[in-house]
Structure 1
């Protein structure tokens, strides 16, 4: 069946999600999951939209990391290459390619590699043992099909983490659906991300949960207005995502008693949302800004938040290439920079084929084909 692989990938996601949900899910975020790098936006486009977005439908293949159901015909034959420079010399490289086959339908291939750099190793006596590396990577296959106004998609991924030669391995799956309005520029998306199971753990460690995230979002561009707005709700599977530092100092009340910070309904609600806007100046130029309240609250300093949680990006098309750049502020002490380059490989191959195809014989004025004669004939 043409789209049977999409059903199989979605089924794999449900199976892995069931395994990954066995531990208690009503826990706070942060420090309680394995493979946390799966939450990082791997491309400039996603980073500019607040780090997550399941509903923006474009021709950028890297958006399959936001929701596999975002695969669409405008992505066919396109390749995107992304590079991220994080703080502390941490770097990430990602490639995404979308292709369409007659038998299997539209599919996407994604590879992402995160390198934490080199670290010094010492024995118990403090003697240097040299250096070791720490890196993580994923390889994934996505499939999607459209039925009416809805597109269904799923991704199956293999995630590997390596520290000084020891490895951990997990099976991960994303599954989502996107609704596209038939006339208006409006899309809505729902995705279950990072459902999975850790098959191999690091020596001496317990099996952990993957960073499951259920997201619901909408993107709209009002008619005659050059701005595309997006709003995304994330971690819908878990209400309480606030973190209160047990070592944080409280404030003194009128009686001189220390009052520790308490949970706020409004702050917890706001942490579930990201918002973004893209100023569309033409088919080849966009300016983007995104805001992630959860990131802002978790990365703020004691005395200031600065521009934490904000991201600023731009997209420009030059000839056949599309260039995306994003500057995302983590906190006052650091930021991340994202660069993505994409283009259509189909058009590249078509040009090469056309240049190597021999030209047909030219016709003479009387309609006869030109003949080549030997010298002196």
Structure 2
């Protein structure tokens, strides 16, 4: 256990010196890939054992309790852009439970142009991640790691990389309280888009907590993310936008989520991401940017989760996740 804690400490020290400027490649890894996560604002590092798909967010958030669960998700975005996610957990005799998943974001059909503005035909682009995760619990702490291969194809240009996520979560023995920490997307680039490109991985450090007050039918989640970046603000001074203040800069690093526990089989989900709101809102109105809603319902052996994520006025993303315990379903049949 001491060696594992030392390894995590070294990773965190390395994070302090990570590059912070510029846009990242493979940034689709930071997009919510399942309906529950999308409905809770898109970022979560602490909600354990509720959804198999959360191992994509933090490998320590799933355990043996989710063995034999399978899940499929499709996220609908604007135009024909969409994301598909498939995950499955299986308990092996010697190594325990492994979580496995595939995440694919399709950018749809895109019209191509040359330097003079002439049409060159249409093309399809997309990005894919293959992920395997393992967790291990020691007393009230659970640690986990994800290994993933990532592939990107954009307009005929291809890039690939191998990445590692390392995470941990504290689980209170008596209270409904979780505190999670994850270091995401450490890795190496195998191939560049072109001989002159310089791919930068979407490295991130996230810290969050999920807790349910004893006498309230609510579970709250608060997650701080982009902790390895010095500044995450974006504003257009030439368009007359004011420079963000100190409080604004702090709030852009937080994501808030609430589960309303109406029934053991029915929950309402609400999320708010301040950074998304600030960057996507219209000048005249917020348009619901950054606010997400959803619900989950268990019907026999299946769980359905639906989400709606607001972007700008009249535009939103929708997600649908279907999950089931395959072993339980087969026994029932």
Q: TM-score, normalised by structure 2?
A: 0.91
Aligned counterpart, 1:39 = 30
The yes-or-no answer on 1:231 pairing with 2:222 is yes
Give the alignment's Cα RMSD to 1 decimal. 2.4
**Structure 1: how far apart are the matches of 2:133 and 2:54?**
11
Secondary structure at the counterpart of residue 311 of structure 2: strand
CA offsets, 1:68-123, max 9 Å, x none? 10012321110010000011220100011112222112210010111111123355
**Structure 2: how far apart are the matches of 1:314 and 1:58?**
17
Deviation at 1:164, TM superposition (A): 3.5
1:62 pairs with one of 53, 57, 75: 53
Aligned counterpart, 1:89 = 80
Report matched runs for 1:50-199 at 5 Å: 50-122=41-113, 129-199=120-190
Report matched runs for 1:1-377 at 5 Å: 14=11, 25-27=19-21, 32-122=23-113, 129-249=120-240, 261-351=242-332
CA offsets, 1:345-364, max 9 Å, x none? 11234356xxxxxxxxxxxx
Deviation at 1:187, TM superposition (A): 0.7
Deviates more, 1:287-296 or 1:221-230: 221-230
**Structure 2: how far apart are the matches of 1:21 and 1:325?**
37
Deviation at 1:165, TM superposition (A): 3.3
Q: 1:215 to 1:119 in 2, by over 3 A?
A: same
Secondary structure at the counterpart of residue 161 of structure 2: strand
**Structure 2: how far apart are the matches of 1:185 and 1:306?**
34
Cα contact 1:159–1:171 (8 A) shared by 2: yes
Aligned counterpart, 1:371 = none
Secondary structure at the counterpart of residue 238 of structure 2: coil
Q: 1:303 to 1:151 in 2, by over 3 A?
A: same
**Structure 2: how far apart are the matches of 1:126 and 1:49?**
41
Q: Mind listing any 5+ residue stretches in structure 1 that lack a counterpart?
A: 251-260, 353-377
Secondary structure at the counterpart of residue 130 of structure 1: strand
Q: 1:128 to 1:194 in 2, by over 3 A?
A: same
Q: 1:266 to 1:221 in 2, by over 3 A?
A: same
Q: 1:192 to 1:125 in 2, by over 3 A?
A: closer
Q: TM-score, normalised by structure 1?
A: 0.81
Secondary structure at the counterpart of residue 336 of structure 1: strand
Cα contact 1:286–1:314 (8 A) shared by 2: yes
Q: Mind listing any 5+ residue stretches in structure 2 that lack a counterpart?
A: none
Secondary structure at the counterpart of residue 88 of structure 1: coil
Cα contact 1:77–1:344 (8 A) shared by 2: yes
Cα contact 1:226–1:279 (8 A) shared by 2: yes
